Chains A and B, each alone.
Chain A
C-alpha cells in the first residue's frame, strides 16, 4: 500500500503539551504481536438474528430478546453505553435527569422515527420553486407575514425538546432518535418558510411579541412532560391545523406543496406527544393536575396570539382570497377555529385528559363579544 503523504509531517507534535504513554496493552501488543481478544468474551445477548421486514430492517425488527426490553428505569451508570452492551464498571456519568421510562416514552416512537426517516424531504429539491408566479400585493404581503410567523415559531420545536433530549437516559435511545428527527423537521420548516418569504418579491414581515411569549413559556417548561403538553399537544396541534389551512389557502402550487409536506411532519410530532401523555397519565394519574395547569396557561397565550392583527389578518386575507374578501376570510377562519378546538380536545381525549370542562378556548370566537 502506498504511504499517505502528510504535509509538514516533521512538525506534527513538535509543540504538543502532553506526552502520551502507550497503555500496557498496546506495549504488549507492539512487542509480542499477540492480540488480547478479551472483548470477545464480553458482550450482551449473543446469536441474535434480526430479520428485515418488507420495508427493510426497522427498529421494531431489532427489538428482540433482551434488546427489546426497554427498562422502566434507565441504567444507573448514566453513560452513553448502548442498552444491552456489556458494561464496564468505570463508565463516566453524563448526569442524565430523565431516567424513568414513563417520563419520556411513547409506544409509537419507533414507528414514528422510521416514518420520519423514510419521509424526509428537501425544500430545495422537492418544492417546485420555478412555478412561483407574482401574486397580487395583498396576497403576497399576507403570505410573507404568515411565513414570518412560521419561521419564527417553528424552531422552538427543535430547541426546546433537544434541551431535554440531552438529559434523557441513553437507555431510551428510541425517544432520542425520534426527537432528533423532529429537530431536523423543524429545521426544514424554518428554512422553507424563510425561503418562501424571500422568493416571490416580498420579504419578512414583523415579528410577534405574543408568539415570542408562547415560545419562551415552552422553552422554560419545568419538565419534559409539561413541555410536551404545551408543545406537542397544543402548540404543534395548532400549527398542524395552520399547515392544513395553508394547504387550503395556498395561492400557488408551491405554497400548497410546502404546507402539505410540513403538515405530514407536524402530525408525527403531535402523534408522539399525544401517546407520550397518554402513557404518562396512565402511569402517574396525579400528573393530570400539572398538565392542566400548563394547558391553562398555554391556551391563554394562544388566545393572546389571536388578539393581534399580524396574526389574524394575514390568514383571513389568504382564506378569503384577497383583502376585498376579508369578511369571507374571517368567516372561514371562524369555522376553522372550531376545527382547531375540536381536534385539540379530541387529542386530549386520546391522551386520556378530560380537558373539556377546563378548556379556555371557545368553540365560537363570537362568544367573546356577546353580552
Chain B
C-alpha cells in the first residue's frame, strides 16, 4: 500500500471520505486546493509535492506536482518529515492527533508546520475548512489498521 505522502495514499483517504459521507456532509462542503510539502533536515523537500483539491464533500484530485504555480494552490502546508510522521502515528493510535499536534495548532506556532501562500485571503481557507482537513487526515487511522 502507498505511504504518506504518495498521491495514492491521499486517494485512499479520499475513498474513505466518500464512504463516510454523513460526517463530511455535516461539516459542510469544502472548496479548496492546496499542496503538501514534506521537508527534510536540510530544508529540502524529501518527497514529491502533492496537490490536493476538495470539491464539495470529496477529494477531487490528488496529484504529484512538478510545478506548484501551475496548480495554483490556495496555500502550501509545509512540514518536516518527523512532524508529519508524529501526527500520523498519533492518529493511528487514537483516531486523532494529540491536542497540540493538530494541523491548526502546529501551523499556529509555525516552526513545525507552516503555511505558504501568495495571498492571506487564500491562506485563510486553511482556517475556513480546517475541520474538514483535520477529519480527512484523521481518516488515516483506518489505513494503518
Which of A7-15, A86-94, A185-193, A245-253 participates in binding chain B? A245-253
Residues of A within 8 Å of B124, CB to CB, are: 240, 267, 270-271
Kindly identify which residue among B99, B110, B121 contacts A274, using a CB–CB cutoff of 8 Å. B121
Contact A247 B108 (CB under 8 A): yes
Contact A332 B129 (CB under 8 A): no
Contact A264 B130 (CB under 8 A): yes
Interface residues on A, range: 35 or more
Residues of A within 8 Å of B28, CB to CB, are: 115, 118-120
Q: Which residue of A lies closest to B126 (CB)?
A: A267
Contact B108 A264 (CB under 8 A): no
Min C-beta distance of B108 to chain A, whole Å: 5
Q: Which residue of B lies closest to A342 (CB)?
A: B120
B4 within 8 A of A: no
Kindly identify which residue among A115, A267, A335, A343 contacts B109, using a CB–CB cutoff of 8 Å. A335
Contact A260 B131 (CB under 8 A): yes
Q: Which residue of A lies closest to B27 (CB)?
A: A119
Mark contacts of B104-122 with chain A using CB atoms, 8 A cut-off: 1 yes-contact digit, 0 otherwise. Answer: 1100111000000001110
Contact B131 A261 (CB under 8 A): yes
Residues of A within 8 Å of B145, CB to CB, are: none
Q: What CA separation (Å) do A18 and B22 show in the bound complex?
A: 54
A347 within 8 A of B: yes
Tell me what chain A mostly uses at the interface: helix, strand, loop, or mixed.
helix
Mark contacts of A255-289 with chain B using CB atoms, 8 A cut-off: 1 yes-contact digit, 0 otherwise. Answer: 01000110110111011001100000000000000
Residues of B within 8 Å of A336, CB to CB, are: 108-109
Q: Which residue of B lies closest to A259 (CB)?
A: B104
A328 within 8 A of B: no
A350 within 8 A of B: yes
Q: What CA separation (Å) do A339 and B129 show in the bound complex?
A: 20
Contact A275 B121 (CB under 8 A): yes
Mark contacts of A325-354 with chain B using CB atoms, 8 A cut-off: 1 yes-contact digit, 0 otherwise. Answer: 000000010011001000100110110000
B64 within 8 A of A: no
B55 within 8 A of A: yes
A77 within 8 A of B: no
Contact A55 B130 (CB under 8 A): no
Interface centre among B29, B55, B110 (most CB of A within 10 A): B29
From known contacts A118-B29, A119-B28, A247-B102, infer whether A260 and B134 are also in contact, taking CB-CB under 8 Å: yes
Residues of B within 8 Å of A111, CB to CB, are: 31
Q: Beyond the given A247-B104, A268-B128, A332-B109, could you list 8 further A-B residue pairs with CB under 8 A, ordered by the A residue number?
A: A115-B128, A119-B28, A244-B108, A245-B108, A251-B99, A256-B102, A264-B127, A335-B109
Question: Which residues of B pack against A, CB within 8 Å?
Answer: 26-29, 31, 55-56, 99-100, 102, 104-105, 108-110, 119-121, 123-125, 127-131, 134
| A-B interface, 8 closest residue pairs, ranked by CB to CB distance from nearest | A119-B28, A346-B120, A118-B28, A267-B127, A248-B105, A267-B128, A267-B124, A350-B121
Question: Which residues of A pack against B, CB within 8 Å?
Answer: 54-55, 111, 115, 118-120, 126, 240, 244-245, 247-248, 250-253, 256, 260-261, 263-264, 266-268, 270-271, 274-275, 332, 335-336, 339, 343, 346-347, 349-350
